[in-house]
Chain A
Amino acid sequence: MNLKKALIASFLLHGLLLVLSSGIGWAWSKSRAPLKTIETHLVIKDKSRNKELLPRKEKAPPPPEQEKKREKDQIAPMAKAEEPVVKKDTKDVKDASIASKRSLPKTAPSKYVNKLASLSEMYAKEITEEKITVPEGEVEDDSYFDRIHTLIKESFVVPKHLDGPRGAQLQAVIRLFLASDGSLNKLTLETPSGDEHFDKAVIDGTKRVSNFGAVPVLLQDVMRERGLVVELCPVKCQKSSKGE
């Protein structure tokens, strides 16, 4: 009988405790800011991007002068700030050693690799819009490549006699090698169009752009050594000419 009473009392008390703890838990969770899920993603060369991942809100890289200055100011605190975060997340010595590589400027190249890879990927899909549409999650304007696109397009002047059946099928591919200050180091005609007037117009037009703007620090090696491939068509490109 006593046991029965004790069990009933215990259940009641536990129930009461449960209600109280639930109440306290609810009030506590209400008082806290909602938890954010951290999602990070990087795109490696030859690895397509997972579209299910949330789009990133990145800002275009500032011009190198500003960027350099900002880097000087921020490298130390940012490096310090980042290391403990990763250590805390992973609690792993191996990860900590990797995290040490994340201090600036080494974290940033991934962004540009991503950008370059995205552009290559975009080209592969033969997107033919007049303006380059940067894939989801990328910055749509102010990017360095948009700037190059705009500058070349503005100087893309072709003799009038090519406006017609003959010009409609032309397509030339050039490669620009840029110095870090954005000046044209070298310009090569990778794939001639077959029409000397159009090829000349393409080369002269690109040379008209006196400066493409200072190359972001982390793109400088690529732009200087490997260059940027630009495919130009007077009307609309009809075929892919990936010659890599």
Chain B
Amino acid sequence: MAEPYDISTTQESVLLEKLSRIENSPAGYFSVHMHLSKLRASNKQAHFMNIAARGFDNLVNNADAVLYSMMNHDLVLLCHDVMVDDIDPYISKVRSLFSEDPLTAGGDEFEDALCTWYDLSNSEDFAAFLSAATELSVQAQIALDELRRDRKDDESAPKGDPLTAANLAVINQKLQVTRIADLIKQQTCIRIKPGSAGEVVFREHYVAVSELKERIATEVDLFSSVWLFQFLTETLDKRILAVMGRRSFDDLPEPISINLNVGTVLSRDFAQFNRAVGDFADKVVIEMQIIDIFADMSTFGYARDMLQERGYRTVADGINPLSLQFFEPSLLRTDYLKIAWGKEFESDEEDGRLKNFKETVKNAGADSIILSRVDSEKAVKWGLSLGINRFQGYFIDKLVQAMSRGKVKPKARPVKKTG
């Protein structure tokens, strides 16, 4: 790619130039501004944008039409003497590509949230579009400035090289010997009962991957391959089990939870951990990820049953508003389902996602739902209104802090005599 720091070469500038050329004879011209910049971040990936833009190839090649790709991911289509009906299929293709994004469903009776149409032969529309195009150009200038500044500040790309089989070997080796005990963080899951103080359900222990990366793979983007990252978590599991297994479980004041791969649960490392836990399995909660569960459901079934029989509690983790639309997690028969709170839940009552969520709450029972990623009081209230009372997330962390600051922590239990 050419170094795109010169504003005069951007598509935004080219568009403005074109507009100035047609300003005096705009008959037959119209434009469609597609606001893809308003998509959710997860939908704004570069390869999504390329595919969306390429959807117009046919039109651009066969009609008097030009597509401009803006730096903020918006697309602008400028057409001359083309039938609107001929454009519609292309727009609806884009709409269907992002059919899960609130943007494509949004809008009101006056305006569509995805696109704005301008009849450029109409001087009012022309002025409105010109101002929109100018705004895009200003944004592009700002973005370019930022890009240039970032480049100066940090020569290396922010994320680093992709994770490959070749560098994975080295990273995995490092992970086996690096000290991780001091990287283990905690996040508390609490149960909120209306009218009384929160009660700790468990404290999740996890390794902060960003800090781990600093220690074992500064140059590599660990998330660039889902599968290879997942492989690393298998090694991480063993390390965490070794650290956690050194705890004494009889005087553990509150239950703990750890994330494990299904394979790890059936490994020797876990058998060893199990011996350390002894009779206190009820103080340990094991979380397993959906992606891992789906990869081998029958092994997951064994692992879950084995854990439950020994008295451990289990969590299916990694469920979000989107995934709820596509499978029924209550059938996984874990003790808890951890469902990430998302803005999607806030929207109107008629939304399908909310319906699916309520369905899951009903099937699994409100007592087995943990609402995670809770970042506001609003989310808690929303959960409570559906009968959910177990929560986890940044907002809960603050609550927990306030709880422990506000009152003296209750002493767990008298010290047990040993020996």
Do these two chains really belong together in a complex? no
